[in-house]
Structures are given as C-alpha cells and as structure tokens.
Amino acid sequence: MDTQKRKGVFDLGGLAWGIGQTAIIVGIVLLILAGFATATTNANVTAAIDAAITAIATIPSWFAVIVVAVVGVYLLTLVGGMAGRGRGGGV
C-alpha cells in the first residue's frame, strides 16, 4: 500500500476542519437571523425567523453523530485492511 492511500485512511484532519467550518457558519447564520428578528416589527416575519432559528439551532446536535459514524467507517476500513492481509490478500 503506497503512502498516499495509507494517509487517506488515517487522516481525520479533514473531518475536523469541515465540522469546524460548519459550526462557524451555523453560528454566523444564527447571529444574522437574530439581528433580523430584533430589527423587524412585522409579526409574520418575526415568527418565520424564529422558526428558522429553531430549525438551524438543531444542526450542531448532529455533529457528534456524524463524527462517530465517520470514525466508525475509518475503523472498519482499518480492520478490514488488516483482515485482508492476514489471509494473504489485500485491500
């Protein structure tokens, strides 16, 4: 197995970077929506913005699930690669 393939299996930095960027974007969007909600006097617009804030605020609760799933896939890939080598094969 060459170095580039091996690095791809063990590299979790991209996952961490992507989740960090997503968290920052969600935070910025929530701040912008909160600013709109305080600036408007229309009850319908305020209700729509509050609904959007509630919906977007649930996104960070999924980060842990996504991380666990991706790490599980990495581990399964690693174990599968080792099992293949033990039988004389390779992945």
Range of the domain at 28: 3-86
- Specify the pTM: 0.61
Query: Does residue 49 lie in a domain region?
Result: yes
**Which pLDDT belongs to residue 14?**
77
Which of 11, 71, 76, 14 minimizes the C-alpha distance to 91? 76
Structure tokens at 82: 């080792």
Query: Does residue 9 lie in a domain region?
Result: yes
Mean pLDDT of the residues in the chain: 80
Query: Does residue 10 lie in a domain region?
Result: yes
29-86 pLDDT, tens digit each:
999 999 988 888 899 999 999 999 999 988 888 888 888 888 888 888 888 777 666 5
**Which pLDDT belongs to residue 31?**
92
Query: Does residue 22 lie in a domain region?
Result: yes
Domain count, the chain: 1
- The burial of 62, by beta-carbon neighbours within 10 Å (0-12 exposed, 13-18 middle, 19 or more buried), is given as exposed
**Which pLDDT belongs to residue 66?**
84
3-23 pLDDT, tens digit each:
555 555 556 777 778 888 888
